[in-house]
Chain A
Amino acid sequence: MIRFILARLVKAVVILLAILIFNFLLIHAAPGDPAAVMAGEAGATDEKFIADLRARFGLDQPFGVQLWLYVKSTVQLDLGFSYRQNMPVIDLIWDRLPATLLLTLTAFVIALVLGVTAGVLAASKQGTWWDSIISSMALLFYATPLFWVALMASLLFSVVLGWLPGYGYETIGANYTGFERALDIGKHLILPATTLGLFFMAVYMRMTRASMLEMSRLDFVKTARAKGLKNRVIQRRHVLRNALLPVITLAGLQAGQIVGGAVLTETVFAWPGIGRLLFEAISQRDYSVMLGVFFVSAAMVLLFNLITDVLYVLVDPRIRLT
């Protein structure tokens, strides 16, 4: 088990390094010279100033050296300096990371709990109007663009009904502390987390439903019935446990998309996470922040994948013991 986790960790580090290099290449392939942009915005366009800027940021060095310097400093968790925000990138990210983790994890839990519950319900009522309603709802949330659902949810629950705050992380200027502050953040969290969660809920629902139906046809379910077990117990202990295995695999694969979806949700709801940070950095051509966010979100996705792998192993003895 420990050997398994170590092996996965080593793999994750290698992948992370590859992503790092790839991101760097990607930024370099993009058109536009950051030094020229900076000089332009500073109101100076003469060659000397631009050359000075290049030298100052190491942009005059050969490509290989730039890459090496970048990888070396990233490994030391020095993600560079954002001249836009006048702060080290790592500090910017540390500031925003908790908000993103809170949002994505809540959305993930909502997606998983709602999706699996709806899937179990749809499977147990297979072919009835319950099944049709649940399946169509799930499809609707999946097919509708995330940002549009976000905008509409904000409009309905915040502007029209006034039930929930429609933007931000907490009430500015209220200076709540302790439990009151948690409650306030919780209220702000409901809309973005639910919007993001509903989108992914659909996928888990379909998978759980299909997998439950497939498992109910297997021989061991018949054995369980032949024992005289109640249907409820059979569904929970025999069908659901086996049906969850593919759902776990899927959840691991989807982790990356949830982090991606957070960029949209955070932007619409003005949620101060790294998704919004990335959005701002892109519009301002703040390359070092972009690279930093890419790096951290890649690391997050790898971490989620590692967690699902470990979870899978814990659930399935056939992998744990061989």
Chain B
Amino acid sequence: MSLLEIENLAIALPAGADRQLAVENISFGLSKGEILCIVGESGSGKSMSANAVMGLLPEGVEPAGGHIRFHGREILHLTEDERIDIRGKSISMIFQEPLSALNPLMRVGAQICEVFEAHGLLTPAERMARAVELLEEVGLPDPDKTIRAYPFQLSGGQRQRVMIAMALALEPEILIADEPTTALDVTTQAQILALIEELRRKHEMAVIFITHDFGVVADIADRVIVMQTGQIVEQGSAEDVLLRPSHPYTKSLIAAIPGMKDKPDTGQTHSQQSPVILSVKNLNKTFSTGGGLFKPARVVHAVNDMTFDLHLGETIGIVGESGSGKSTAGRCIIRLIDPDSGTVRLSDVDLTALNGHALRMARSKAQMIFQDPYSSLNPRARIGRILTEGPIAHGVPRAQALDRARELLSLVGLDPSAVDRFPHEFSGGQRQRIGIARALALDPDVIIADEAVSALDVSIQAQVLDLLADLKARLNLSMLFVTHDLRVAAQICDRIMVMRRGQVVEMGPSAQVLGQPAHDYTRSLLDAIPGRHHEAAMRQSVASY
């Protein structure tokens, strides 16, 4: 008998949602010590099924039928009081956002001790001692000190370790991990995955791992379930699903993973012969921040002596982990923040020497595309206004600007009638297309894309990357592409610059940086990419698709 059995589960969405059932006909089993990955894009219902197991469905969302059995006992319709016994003790859960998943006003030690308290176990002193042991087990440095830290004093990876410590406190039989590494850097992600794997072995714990990333699946899954709009479209052993996918949706997801070797090894020589459009020399920016628990107040060199030339029609990728200074560099170049020293020449104008009106005029020649397609468009403005605001401010007559907006919309693959609609009427991928159209509206010389595809599902990401590549070829765009994802950089960039703690550690043609990295740090980034060792085989499996 399986540890956990889900049979014909259906979950109803509240009236007015885009479909009646969040999930339907969900059936699967989970055995002791097994890692089951549930894969799917946003809206596929992958988190819903897991939340139903914990009885943590969002308000208004109710189970509509089926069974969930834990050790043969029906748990779908338990009362809140009966559930409390299972939660944290037999089944525990970790979430995507380690930043918001911990109470900001409580020390992490107290938050771990609460798990014991909730189930009436141990004395307060014993709870504290166990908490220290747990922090040690999940590999946090200096557990005696960390136990007294507040969440804001820890990094994202450290916070996720605290969450894991909390989830492991009562040695549950099942751990449900809902996208636990999505918000983390690639090297931190690799560490957390290794930790979960190790703990699973040690405690013989079963794991339900929810993710959208096939790379992660390839690294850790024993069994895989693929979900699409509320249905399971394919399930089987990891090997079967990844190497012999049978459903077209699974194939398309695997095919959409940006590959490291996708880019044909040409183009660099061509674009580097064209004239220089953006020239950055000795750019520096430092920040002073208050001290944390472990360090006194410190000065961070966010951008340290950055120098490079961007040629007409070329795309340079700025790659690094969070805190590497890649976004700061992008913002310094367009003077959204003032650099401490250095020069930025944009087609013969020194941006660092300008101020006020002159700066605003010159800045229109460099445009940004932002990460979050939801917060980067004004929700109360129609698309027409979003696309014409910039040109009108620079003196283009309204009618002409509106015509151009319609042209741009068809250029990015949207219907020109979109000018009369509001941002909330579009999906994330469509919004990002609008963001791209907005950046193009001012006919910029240079586009700076700051994690422009990081918030998108993998299949949408592939479409937007295709669009950017296409626009780049058609309009001869010059682009700085800031990203944490080496695979994405590999797809679109001619040259790649790897940053670490404000320093550019390596720069060169994409194929060279990714194929024969010269710096240890680049190598460690490449090694940390999930699913890397299975990539060739996976690619092979969908080659005919």
Contacts and interface: CB of A to CB of B under 8 A. Distances in A.
A321 interface: yes
Interface string A92-111: 00000000000000000000
A230 B293 contact: no
A267 to B, nearest CB: 42
A220 B104 contact: yes
A225 to B, nearest CB: 6
B102 A223 contact: yes
B103 A238 contact: yes
Contacts of B122: none
B101 interface: yes
A41 interface: no
A222 B95 contact: yes
A222 B56 contact: yes
A227 B95 contact: no
A48 interface: no
B118 A229 contact: yes
B118 A233 contact: yes
B1 interface: no
Contact of B105 (A222, A224, A226, A316): A316
Interface string B414-426: 0000000000000
Contact of A227 (B104, B105, B106, B115): B115
Interface residues of A, number: 24
B51 to A, nearest CB: 9
Interface stretch (B80-88, B454-462, B534-542): B80-88
A318 interface: yes
Given A228-B89, A322-B290, A223 B95 contact: yes
Contacts of A222: 56, 95, 101
A168 B443 CA distance: 76
Contact of A317 (B80, B84, B86, B105): B105
Contact of A318 (B102, B104, B293): B104
Contacts of A321: 150, 153, 292-293
Interface in A186-244: 218-220, 222-231, 233, 237-238, 241-242
B219 interface: no
Interface string A294-322: 00000000000000000000011110011
A241 B54 CA distance: 25
Contact of B114 (A227, A242, A316, A317): A227
B166 A227 contact: yes
Interface in B95-117: 95, 97, 100-106, 114-115, 117
Nearest to A245: B105
B126 to A, nearest CB: 17
Contact of B84 (A228, A238, A242, A322): A228
Given A315-B105, A316-B105, A228 B85 contact: yes
B54 A227 contact: no
Contacts of A237: 103, 106, 114
Given A219-B97, A238-B103, A242-B105, A228 B150 contact: no
Given A219-B100, A242-B103, A242-B105, A230 B114 contact: no
Nearest to B100: A219
B483 interface: no
A219 B95 contact: yes
With most chain B CB atoms within 10 A of its CB, the pick from A225, A226, A233, A316 is A226
A82 to B, nearest CB: 49
B153 A228 contact: no
Contacts of A220: 100-104
Contacts of B89: 228
B119 interface: yes
Nearest to B176: A226
B103 A318 contact: no
Given A242-B103, A242-B105, A317-B150, A230 B84 contact: yes
Interface string A257-278: 0000000000000000000000
23 contacts: A219-B101, A220-B100, A220-B104, A222-B56, A223-B103, A223-B166, A224-B114, A226-B54, A227-B92, A227-B115, A229-B84, A229-B118, A230-B118, A237-B114, A241-B103, A241-B105, A242-B103, A242-B104, A315-B105, A317-B105, A317-B150, A318-B104, A322-B292
List the 9 shortest-distance A-B pairs measured between CB atoms, nearest first.
Answer: A228-B88, A228-B87, A322-B290, A219-B100, A227-B88, A226-B93, A228-B118, A219-B101, A229-B118
